[in-house]
Structure 1
Amino acid sequence: MAEYSGQMQKCVGFRLLCVFVFCVCISGVLISITHADEPEENITNNTSNLSAEWVVDFTASPFEGYPPLCVQFTVSGPNGEYVWDFGDGTTSYVMNPVHCYKQKGSYWVKLKYSYGTIAGEVSKPDCVKVGDPDMYVDYFAEPSSGPAPLTTQFSIIGNPTNIIWHFGDGSDDSTDLSPRHQFREPGNYSPTLTYCIAGSCNKISKFNYIEVAPGNKVDFLAERQNGTAPICTRFIVYGEADSFQWDFGDGSVSYEKSPVHCYPEPGLYTVSMTYTIDGAPYTITKNRYLKYVPAGTPDFTATPVEGIAPLCVAYSVINPTQSWEFNFGDNSTATSAQATHCYGTSGNYFPSLTYCSNNLCDTVEGKEPILVHQPRILIAQGSALNEYKFSTDAPEGLKYSWDFGDGTRAEGPAPSHRFDMEGTYRVSLVVTGTCGCNAIAVKELKMKPKGKLDFTATPLAGCAPHCVQFNEKSPEIPLSRVWDFGDGETSSEKNPFHCFRFPGPYTVSLTDTFPNGTQQEVKENYITAHAVPKPSFTMFPPHGDAPLTVKFTDTTVDYAEKRYWSFGDGTSDSGKIVEHRFDEPGNYNVTLTIWGAGDCFGSKSQTVHVLKKVDSPYDFSGLPRRGLAPLCTSYKVTGQIQQSELDFGDGQKTNERNPFHCYETAGIYSPALQACDSVSGCEDIRKPAYIVAVSPYYLNITLLHGWNLVSVPVTLEPGFDTMDILSGVDTAGHSIFTWNSTSAAWMRSARSDPISPLSAFFIYSSDMVQVPIRISGEGPEYNLTRDLDEGWNLVSFADIMMVSADEAFRSIEEFWSYVIGYDAEKQRFSAPITNGVESRDVSLDPRQGYWIFMNSSAQMVGKQL
């Protein structure tokens, strides 16, 4: 079970979760997520002067691709306040954010900005285009470069059709999915892939993607290109030549093909090799190819490597040589063995040490950068309006000088200040370090008159129980708040989420207490929770012999919108009082759906039992009724009949009393008898789905290796209609699982559990097997029925051929939203089928099981099979 649960979590859980989320979205329930409490005043970071005229714009890169598509948005403009609307329901307050789009679509990106009294908006429709991931196609080749002849394996990403490869080297095109191709001549080649997907055709061409170098290239390699002098290295030659002459860069030469040479001194050495082919000389020179350092290579330490400016970092040289120089990464240097450097501006600094020894100079880079953070000005609400407490995250124990921008100053790490006038103030802090530099932090603070308390809610109306997200709009941070929802419930949260359980209009109020007073906002009849109708109806008579006419009366109270009758035989009506005739025997699930205010609806179902007319003087029977096509049936007509005609249901008829008829093709046939005599007149007797001729493909349960979601297409023979028929399957120790929709839990099946055509189950098979089934010779007396719960149900349907989703679930057509199948070959779930969108075009197999999402509980009526 653990293994099965793991697979189902990966396969079922994920896809069902996606569908669940989609269902939540389309139902209109949106939950707003807000920022934590913070001062209402407009506070921005700015350390630069702003010109009198400036223009704000932004760019997005990349601006198109496939999900997940992560886009870098970059602002051109001053360091002000920015609010992004990415077009997919998300926002950001970062100046240059990176945002990832997870769904396909074309997104309208908007940027609101402000600096002081200047504000505006930049809006770009179709700024980011995220393609359908199912349409993504690309290709790659391994290897894409090398000497001639180069053999390359091409591979495709995606699922295109009608593939044509053009390799660009004059060779024949290929239609293979993953061709293997050899480029014989040196050069650069641009392969082109032509393909079609989802009815659209396109090309992908990659310029100079394949690089083929000349074959038999001569080159050389030193085994030890770096090291500590003295050192010896072997030179290895690749390719063939007639003669060789080496210049090792230290005044030594050699005429061997692969010599060994020793370097006693450190240094940078340029090595040349001259070789001849057919008397022609060629020279390969590798400048500064060998680097041999002295023993004990210099290095340095830096402590600390991260902190807030002003940051003092101590440097120290390890293994000093003849000379050295520190470069601190900010264009300043030092030549002492121990140096302390002060960083006063935020940034990432990359220090290095340059040293020289025996005419060899080299640079040692720091193992990690010095990360310096700008000190921040932290602001908290004071005890009075427009009074604030200031502090900083700069290092402790330094000198702090504050300028509040209104002509007043203060010293110390945490002063308080009150602004008496409305306006925008530039607050600055200078922190003086102990090692010779200052750090400066700046924030702008906008003082404005105290605003009015307000709040919003969404959605304002819905079906009870109706859940609402409230959002407070307060002029400043209150000392306390009280929400009164008008239904006896209260809350002290800033942005509460509240559910109104009963129908009615509700008056909502918010009371905030501030240091200098209290404000209250009341909104009369702000929220409306509509009642969900509770349908009721009577029917008379509730049962009787066919043909049976039943009178239905809608007795529902307190609704004023519309009604819909579904009689369970494929017909419907909308009247308050209707009469309906049931011509054939069977159990019919009659459902009344009522819509009230706010498009809220409820449903109720009752069953009409229609029996065969027992006093009819005529009848007919046939055996066998079920079997493998072609199926030959012997009919017998009973009763004192003067004239009769038997319609076999396949287009052929006879006047014989006891005919013998063969059904050549698989199908479900409904024979009918028209019988007449001088006393009773004529009567038609029709037997729906009386004959079932099955294709041999439907006489087995086919299981592939792995998990299978299967069902049986028709009713099985008694004694062979339980899980015991699967006892011979090697399930590798796995149980057979069904789904209990009432408790929303998996259930293990026992060998004695019955198998029904309207149910489905998961079974694991270690190999591909076929389990024979024995179809009932008589079949059920009435139509098959099954009660389905609201939410997800594991079902199938009765039939002997593939039909559309609309036809398979016609009896519950107004109650389901999605159907999901399972692909046993790929071991994953298929794409969801949406009711009314793809349900007419996508065919389902009655031998397979399906997940179906029900909007409300209902009874599913299957064929009498």
Structure 2
Amino acid sequence: MPWHNNNKKPKKICWTFGDGRDTCIEYSTTFTGAYLVTHKYNHSGTYEVCIKILYDGGCESSKCKSFQVNEPDRCAADFERIPATSTNDLLVVGFKAIASHNNNKAPKVICWKFGDGKDTCIEYAQNFSGPYTVRHRYNVPGSYTVCLKVTYYGGCEAYICKPIVITRPDECRADFERIRISPTANPLLVYFKALPWNNNNKKPKTICWNFGDGKDTCINYPENYTGVYAVSHRYDQPGQYEVCIKIAYYGGCGAYKCKPIVVTRPDECRADFERITINTTANPLLVYFKALPWNNNNKKPKIICWNFGDGRDTCIIYTESYTGTYAVSHRYTQPGQYEVCIKIAYFGGCESHKCKQVNVGEFCRVDFEKLIVNTIADPLIAYFKALPFHSQEKKPKTICWRFGDGKDTCINYPENFTGVYAVRHEYDHPGLYEVCIKITYYGGCEAYKCKQVQIGEVAQCKADFERIPISTTNNPLNVAFRAISSHINNKNPKEICWKFGDGRDTCIQYGEDYTGPYVVHHRYDRPGNYEVCVRILYFGGCESKKCEVVKVETPGECRVKLFQLTPSITSLVKGFFASPWSSENKRPVRVCWYFGDGTDTCIQLNSAISLTQLFIRHTYPAPGEYRACVKILFEGGCIASDCVEVIIRPTTNACGGYMTDSLISPRTFKFKGFAIHNPDDPVTGYRWTFGDGSAATGREVTHQYNAPGTYEVCLTINTQRGCETRICKQLHVPGNTQIALQITPNPVINIMHVLFYSTHNEPMIIRVVNSYGVVVRTWTRNATQGANNWDLDVSTLPAGAYTLYIQSPNQLSSQLFIKVN
């Protein structure tokens, strides 16, 4: 921009661009254009640009200025989804544009395409500093492609598209079902399964159950929980209850559902059958069977299926009004022993199954065994025992033995013989012999059997067994046996076969390195005397057998009546007396007292029962209402219990209360409040705060903490006349990975090491209970908060299964252990 007072024109203009590349341009005096110059810099930056003008006539002038040289405009566009202002309508979505310009130029126009045909453009001032947000409402859920176009000041444009998913507003429901359990379980123990539903597949956060008996619970679930939302509840008595479920979902949706349920004893049923005796002279292969159904609720068979053991089975459907005999006939094609099974499905769904061995027609078999006797003195002497079988129970008339050494014998038996069909034989040389037996029965049936027998070796192994005690409270016909092995070379059993004497036998195979007990459980259908046999096959081939008669019986009926001996209605000292009764005059062996204030005790009774052993005195901590119970275990396993309500009135107008707590599972505590008040001033409410921001109401509540730590638990009790009592205490919550009780080693021989994590500083009662429920050992130890290590001597305990209990008014832990010799 030249200037001259006499309007003389530039003759020469020199430019200095500040980057070392300068230029001069000469102009004629007749030039009338613009004095322009262009220059390209290699790099952005601040440069000092100078101009020097030489005018026609010789006048010169110069000027310098600083200029900022920038890179060419580059820009980008992006956006993010942000929470809409309305949380109730998921179809309303917020978006935020994210601008990016290398020269920090601001957006001028932002255009949105929302993918549903409703688009918009927004213009912004150059000095706009707020967020570039927009709000849009979709009509229906679905997947949409959202596009953003940003036009910056200076002309740069950028564009981006992204898919988004629009969900429906949360809809949820709550429902539950009662889970079917085993008919042999406690009929008052009911299982429920929550059936949540959320249209956006959001999971339950909290499920609260109201069981209709005043004992309610809430369970919190993490958002990544994948298991079943189930809960169990034990009712005190049968009846109809209104059960309600309330589900709070992640995201805030909530739903509620109530149903009436009936708590009754579930169906119990059995199946049995008998063979009907008819004249089979015409056809001894035609057999008649009669089903013997039984249902505790007198429900009738709906379907009876028969498996006759010959591959030709049948099922018969009956109406619910049928009153006849459940009989069936079947024609076998040949005589023999068949396993006949019956399966009865009752109206109501209960099913039962029973199998028996049935002999059809006349047939006979024979077998024999070498008896295990002490052959150390003369190992060439062998004893054999014949094992006859005749389908019509006809007896052997003649038994012929071929011993494999050319010295054979036949023995005749009278038809009334009742002894053992045994024989003694002395061999001249040791070796492997083929011994054969042939039995001719009365009536003419003959059977023959041969076996290889080793003669001349000293007995290397023995077999024995014992009956071990187990809990038979739920079913006294359940028994357990333990095989006792003995091998001269300490070889282990390879296979143990059991014959229980009721036709249902089993064989169990073991590994050579197995070190546990050789235990088997069996359930008999009815009481009686049974010949139980065990056969042990050892690694290396040695085999031995032992049989004994075992008596299986059910315990008789038992009862107990609890009496309260009350000096006065305001006395804190109460006396209790238990009056036991047994139909078989079985003596009580243990009595357990539950006083309703968290302090319980069990006492082992002496063989000579006296009245003083069935009396106990207890001091309650304060006035209130308590439920005291007694439970007595009789010889033979029968258990009886009874409860009474204990009411203690205050002697003054003062009001107050106290609380108890007990750890029932990791980080889960059960709290119970006790109020002290006048008889005419009843309690109107119990309110709990747990120190973690949560609260609950009710006299008895359960709460689960999310994290370990020390919390202040407070209980506020209000009465009708306005008395308010507030009690607080510090509660230590152990870590969720902390196992409260650990036992090592398990199985144990002599010394058992116990590691117990305590939540309180207090004395603990340690008990060992056998499988009959009888306390066999008791210790007392002082526990400190945290880890406690104790060594307990159990060397004198018989081998078997036991449960270790560690208990105080605030804590209860238990664990199963095995004692071996």
TM-score tier by shorter-chain length is under 0.3
Which has the larger helix fraction? Answer: 1
Structure possessing the higher relative contact order (Cα contacts under 8 Å, 6 or more residues apart): 1
Largest Rg, 1 or 2: 2
Please give the TM-score of this superposition, normalised by the length of structure 2. 0.25
